[in-house]
Amino acid sequence: MVTGFPLLIAFVVSVAILLVLIIKFKVNPFIALIFSSIVTAFGVNMPMAEIPKVICAGFGGTLTGIGIVIGLGIIFGNLLYEAGATEAIAKGLLKATGKNNAALAVTTAGFLISIPVFMDAAFVIMMPIVKYVAKETKKSVMMFVCALGVGTIVGHAMVIPTPGPLAVAANMNAEIGGFLLYSLIAGFCAIAVAGWLYGKRFSSYPAYEGEAEDPLTDSRRLPSFGLSMATLLFPIVLILLSNVVMSVCGKEDLIYQIFAFAGEKDIALFLGCIVAFIALRSYQVKSFNTMVTEAADSAGLILLITGAGGAFGKVLSTSGIGDYLVTSMSDMNVSPIVLGFVLSAVLRASQGSTTVALVTTSSILGTAIAGTGVSPVLVGLAICAGGIGFSLPNDSGFWVLSRFSGITVSETIQSWTIGGTIASFTVFIVIMIIAAINNVVPLPFL
């Protein structure tokens, strides 16, 4: 196969082909990724008989690690949404903070809700509340759109069980508990800086004068804020708690075995679905089977795109491109953390999809960083950070935010694109700080 500098040329050409297919010809990302995988394999002179095996190995290997939990995550989110728990969380946070800090509540709610619910859906769910709050506080809707947009994209790109972070954690072979813990720390820092503080720049904009129904007086019976939050956080807390227990107990101890089982991401999310169904059953208007079927329908294309991203990344990594990039950057004293962030950011900006950027970058670098001594958790989170910002009009999320909030393209760039990019760099800076501390005093789960 091709070696050395030509590998870099092959990498650039393969990414260019992918971008042209998605952006210029509007080809579905699944088809575009599979086609790019095949072309790239031929381009690096991979043995023809090995190409299908490598593509299938990449596709299957990615879904082996995260396929079940993606499906369960979508079911979990659907259970929360249909019961009104996501709405209850948003309303509870808004009531708790009051009008003066409403933007902080909005960005926090967006962050939390986008963990089980996809970013686009979380934004749509929250917009009626955002417009009402903007009207009641007599403030610009731009401030709250920025807060909501940043909160939802950070949660979507950073925290499992969304597909992107799941794929990153699996491809980097990162310890799930540590990945989750530090993603929450970095994520909350990002939404505070970019969603809340940066959003204040829009406080001087004209107050919102549009129509806004009062969603806080909705006649629908909702679960309490406490019950909704407890249900949402159950699988997350279970994973974190299991890592703490497993770090202090011996492998032969019964409690270690229990938490090693219950805290595994697939089982934790499965238990989360059961808890959500039981705890919220009286608030659900649809049958359990109907909610599962609806979730399964929306999971199909997500699984295909995620698996195809893994296939493309597998072709690139098998060709040696990942090793070549890491070696080259090491010779230039560029940290794998920086490399992961830059590659992910470039892919995110160029083709629009956060999930594609995260899956592809982590597939390329997953095996390559094994011998560098750098924490796979930190490299993985840097990859996630790169997928947060740099949203341009080639990103479907860009138009979802613009269309549902009723703001112009210029205003969308100011609030969503710039706000998300600030969040991206905030996460990256937090990760670099954590890495510096870890070099002096070893931190847990890294």
**Structure-block tokens of residue 57:** 């190995």
Q: What angle do CA 434, 376, 64 make, to 5 degrees?
A: 140
* DSSP, residue by residue, 330-352: HHTT--HHHHHHHHHHHHHHHH-
**Position with higher pLDDT, 186 vs 71:** 186
Ranges of each domain in the chain: 5-440
- Round to whole Å and give the CA distance between 385 and 391: 13
Q: 113, 133 in Cβ contact below 8 A? A: no
Q: Helix, strand or coil for residue 444? A: coil
Q: What is the pLDDT of residue 104?
A: 94
For position 342, what pLDDT does the model report? 93
Cα 208 from Cα 135, distance rounded (Å) = 5
Cα(108)–Cα(418) distance, rounded to whole angstroms? 18
Whole-angstrom distance, CA of residue 235 vs CA of residue 373: 30
* Average confidence (pLDDT) over 352-371: 84
Nearest 5 degrees, angle CA 343-CA 348-CA 351? 115
The mean pLDDT of 272-282, rounded to a whole number, is: 95
Neighbours of 274 (CB within 10 A): 13
The pLDDT mean for the chain works out to: 88
Pairwise CA distance, residues 87 & 225, whole Å: 9
Q: Is residue 176's pLDDT more than 80?
A: yes
H helix runs in 172-264, sequence order: 176-190, 225-248, 254-262
Residue from 30, 65, 114, 76 nearest 296 by CA? 76
Contact yes or no for 390/158 (Cβ under 8 A): no
What's the one-letter identity of residue 144? F
Does residue 100 register a pLDDT over 90?
no
Can you give the pLDDT at residue 214?
Answer: 66
> Region 207-214: what's the mean pLDDT?
69
What's the pLDDT tens digit per position in 293-323? 988 887 888 888 888 888 888 888 788 877 7
In angstroms, the CA 236 to CA 268 distance is 8
pLDDT for the residue numbered 218: 57
Whole-angstrom distance, CA of residue 133 vs CA of residue 149: 15
pLDDT given for residue 130 in this prediction: 83
How far, in Å, are 261, 347, 420 from residue 14 at the CA level?
41, 12, 27
Q: pLDDT tens digits for 115-169?
A: 887 787 788 778 878 887 888 788 888 999 999 999 999 999 999 888 899 999 9
In terms of Cβ atoms closer than 10 Å to its own Cβ (0-12, 13-18, 19+), residue 250 is: exposed
